[in-house]
Each structure stands twice: as C-alpha cells, then as structure tokens.
Amino acid sequence: MSKKAEIYQNGEYLGNHPDWHEEDSEWKAKKIAGILTKNNVTPKSICEVGCGAGEILNQLHSTFKGANVTGYEISQDAYEFCSKKQKEGLTFKLEDILNPDNKEHYDVLLCIDVFEHVEDYFSFLRKLREKADYKVFHIPLELSVVGMLSKNRLMNSRKKFGHLHYYSKDTALACLRDTGYTIVDAYYSRRSFEVNSGGFSKKFMNLFRRLFNFNRDLSVSLFGGESLLVIAK
C-alpha cells in the first residue's frame, strides 16, 4: 500500500471526515438515479466502488426496487459504517472489486468521487471498465481560474480529502475516453447551488456563478465549485 493510501486505513481520513461524507449521500443518489432514468437504464444489479458510509447505495436500494445492490470498500473504518446498513438485497464487502478472484459483473457500477484518490488511475479505470455494462462517475472539477489563483486551495484539497489528481470538464472526459470508455451522457451536477455547505465564501462565489449562468462551461472554468456526472459504457 502506498503512503498516500494509508490515510484510509490508519484513521487519518476518518479523523478529518467522521461521518465519511454521509451528509451528501441522498443528494448524490438522486443525481445518479436521474442520469440512469434519463438514459433509460433500469438496473437489476448495482455496485459501488469505494462506497464509504454506504448511504448512496442504501438510497438507491429503495429507488430501484428488486435490484441487487453491492458496495465494495477497502477501508475498515468506512466498512464499519456501511456494514450496519446491510439487509436483503443490499450487501457490503470489505474487498477490492479488482481482486482477480472477483468474477462478478453488474449492470451498473458507481465510481462516485473516487478515482481522483487513486495513484495509478489509468490502470484503475481500465480494469474497472470490464466490471459492468454501464459506469456512473461523479468527478470533482477543481481546475479553475479562481482555484489556481488561490494559493492553498489545491494543496488543502490534497491534505484534507486525499485528492491526488485535479480535473477540468475536458480533462476528466479525456481520461475516461483514453482508458476505453464511451461517454453516453455527461453534465454538471450543480453541486455549488444544491449542496448546503461551504459557508460565506461559497455564497459569495455563487453570486458570480449566477452572473455567468448563461454559459455554464465558462462559469465553471472561471469559478469552479462543480462536479461532473457521467454515464459511460
């Protein structure tokens, strides 16, 4: 295990995020269900890589009735959260989905705010592609003019969230295409406007984001504060 990956095992990440981001899970689950429905995907089996507290899958288990839902997590700390939510049709595994012994294949695989944490993310994405028919990604877009001008923003993200890679919309989509994915649909999840966190600085930046709302690509390039929701094959 790399030195950077140790933070998910040694309690450091848990110390920074004691609820393992559970507070955003209902919002993320609605976004995931939305992009699946928009593209006429009704899964009978769903898995999530790096499922964390497991609440996204818990929400989707209620949305997609009858689907078999499985979460994979390599952190013991996170597994202690999600394993408590296990029930009929909803299973959690303390396991790496890319373990060669794992031969499971799913209708839909979720990779929600994950591959920016992975050192060799190209290899990770290539291997992940074979695990499901459809893949849904949620990718933070941290490369913006404001982000680059802010002295410590990216380094704070690296320290607090464990992000090793930083993306714009174009580079995120290019990474997926370069690793063999076909993009079915992609759009901003509108995180900056719909998730109530960030305090005064976020509200201040949202004033400028609204001024440029006529061109979302330009707004995100200038002011950041967004994530990209992608469904791919």
Residue 59 pLDDT: 96
- What are the residues facing 141 on neighbouring strands? 226
Per-residue pLDDT of the chain (233 residues; tens, 9 = 90+): 444 555 555 455 545 445 656 788 999 999 999 999 999 999 999 999 999 999 999 999 999 999 999 999 999 989 998 999 999 999 999 999 999 999 999 999 999 999 999 999 999 999 999 999 999 999 999 999 988 888 788 888 787 778 899 999 999 999 999 999 999 999 999 887 778 766 667 777 778 788 888 899 999 999 888 999 999 99
Pairing of strands 132-141, 226-232: antiparallel
Note down the domain range covering 10: 4-232
CA distances in angstroms from 2 to 88, 117, 119, listed in the order given: 35, 12, 8
pTM (2 d.p.): 0.88
> CATH number for the domain including 186?
3.40.50.150
Can you tell me the distance from the alpha carbon of 86 to that of 121, in angstroms, rounded to the nearest whole number? 29
